[in-house]
Chain A
Amino acid sequence: MATATTEKTTSARAVAMKKQDAASAPLPKSSRRRNPMERRPSRLLTAGMVLLLLYSVLPLFWLVVNSTKTQGALFSSFGLWFSGPFALFDNIQQVFTYGDGVFARWLANTFLYVVVGAGGATFLATLAGYGLAKFDFPGKKGAFAVVIAAIAVPGSALAVPTFLLFSQLGLTNTPWSVMIPSLVTPFGLFLMWSYARESIPDELVEAARMDGAGEFRTFFTISLRLLAPGIVSVLLLEIVGTWNNYFLPLIMLSDPQWYPLTVGLNQWSEQANTAGGEAVFNLVITGSLITIVPIIVAFLFLQRFWQSGLAAGSVKQ
């Protein structure tokens, strides 16, 4: 087992390192074209990729088209084109007013969980990754090995155990039950550790020490700046993970007032199946669109970071 862990670590690390190389040296568009004759764009290849692109984008297109329809038009029209009155703004307004405006509450909850969970997770991982990279201390190797081994434990495997413990402690059905588990990201720690090793020269830390700066002062005034690209990568990963989190809040929360968007949306969807429940398909569809817009906008704006940063591994919660 020990071998497996180290080997896995090495390969994960290789990926992480490569990502950093790719990040630090963005290649010019044509740098890899050695022989223009041989490297002519191929129509056949492009055509094949268009199919893959359509597969990726079609459901999103369906979502956009159908959030402009009224519930009636949803049932009576062809799914891939606009039909009936243009009801997007009406739908949006309904999403925010339905059920005493609970959707806005879910949106605010999601923001809260993301800010505290993803922000806190990134901070803890940065602090610890730096500590592990730049200091030698008793017990470091053993503790580090345990944390690294936990990278392979997916969040969903921990959800039921965490629920069992938290309910024993009376923490369930509070926002803490969602935020506290989000604070820990072994993979983020691993990324920050390898990033800190690469990007912060020991001489610099040593020089600060010679000048009489405390370790924390050195960390906050000097190291943090050098770590910024790594921090952004981890933060992005954590934001996506927390924004999209479903299983944990589903288990932990019974009061809809504390739901994040994901759990709330599914509750609206389930409503159609319950006795006396009102079918609100148009609200689920428009609500879904509203849920993914912020995260897609974030990706488009931060392209520079995620294209190198998110490739750092393959953890998906």
Chain B
Amino acid sequence: MTTMSSTAIRTRTLRVRRPRRRWIGWAFFAPFLLAFVFVTVAPLAYTLYLSLFQERMLGGTAFVGLGNYIEQLTNPVFWDALGRVSIYLVIFVPVMLLLSLAAALAIDSARLHFPRLFRLAIFLPYAVPGVVAALLWGYMYGTQFGLVGNIGDLLGVTLPDPLSSNLVLLSIGNIMVWLTMGYTMLVFYSALRVVPAELYEAAELDGAGAFRVIRAIKLPAIRPALAVTLVFSVIGAFQLFNEPNILRTLAPNVITSHFTPNMYAYNLSFAGQQYNASAAVAIAMGVITMVVAYVIQRVASRKA
């Protein structure tokens, strides 16, 4: 039936450039979708299912409805972890975005010596795996042969330990800024590259200064890229895992097993075998992340 009708359309509207409605498209899309269902939809559905049950000492597995959620959302440990990533997010996401923005504007300004060198060098940390970055900075922070101690010795003072409980969040934030700044810069930079030259010419005719051009032309050009990077940075912050988990080796007493929500979910399933609780934490975090990302996205687009 479909074949017939599409053949009919084919003979009639050869010149129309719209793609025709045919099943053949599925042959291209199906392999991806199959894999997608298997590694994204199915795990989420299974986790949702798990989160509604509890293993009982007696009587095996029991349906508890939202019981696991209530238990986790009233657990101070969960809020402790969530609060920590929120502080982290509020401090480091803006710092990272501002540094990237400044770098992108500077490289785009044509008022810089060796712009290509800067672009390449600042981008370079993006290539470094998060694990290697955490090990690298962890050793540099460390007291045994760390750079911080070295510099303290050189200056004849004792510098504060970056892995102490006061500073550890700052130290992790620094690693994240270091890792992601270059990539974000490149996103902003390519948004700036496509600003039509006429806009700059018009601004020049109007006698606009450099800062006026930034405010009236360059920042609006970056806005969509900024909104996207902001949302992804927030999502990334809520999912923080690699860096604190690796630094934990160096500062086991400072970084707890529930330092971030993701570490909490991980340790619930791997150290505690509490798969149902872990599933509830994973789903709850997913929902919280979605809501926050949605709100940010709404606010960002309203201003536009």
Contacts and interface: CB of A to CB of B under 8 A. Distances in A.
Interface stretch (B33-41, B64-72, B74-82, B84-92): B33-41
Interface stretch (B55-63, B164-172, B282-290): B282-290
B224 A247 contact: no
Nearest to A289: B132
Contact of B246 (A30, A74, A240, A266): A266
Given A162-B39, A311-B186, A137 B118 contact: no
A269 B32 contact: no
A105 interface: no
Taking residues whose C-beta sits less than 8 angstroms from the other chain, chain B's interface range is 35 or more
Interface string B218-244: 000000110111011101100101100
Query: How many A residues are at the interface, by size bracket?
Result: 35 or more
A313 B118 CA distance: 21
Interface string A198-213: 0000110010000000
B110 A164 contact: no
Contacts of B138: 269
Contacts of A266: 131, 135, 246, 249
A49 B118 contact: yes
Contact of B279 (A164, A299, A311): A164
A159 B267 CA distance: 13
Closest 9 CB pairs of A and B: A131-B28, A135-B25, A137-B25, A128-B32, A244-B129, A161-B43, A311-B190, A161-B47, A11-B224
Interface of A: 1, 4, 7-8, 10-12, 14-15, 18-19, 21-22, 27, 30-35, 38-43, 45-46, 48-49, 52-53, 55-57, 59-60, 62-63, 66, 74-75, 78-80, 124-125, 127-128, 130-132, 134-140, 143, 146-147, 150, 152-154, 156-158, 160-166, 168, 180-181, 183-184, 186, 189, 202-203, 206, 215-216, 219, 240, 243-244, 246-247, 251, 261-263, 265-266, 269-270, 272-273, 281, 284-285, 288, 291-292, 295-296, 299, 303, 307-308, 310-311, 313-316
10 contacts: A18-B225, A45-B112, A49-B112, A136-B21, A139-B26, A184-B32, A206-B17, A266-B249, A285-B139, A291-B129
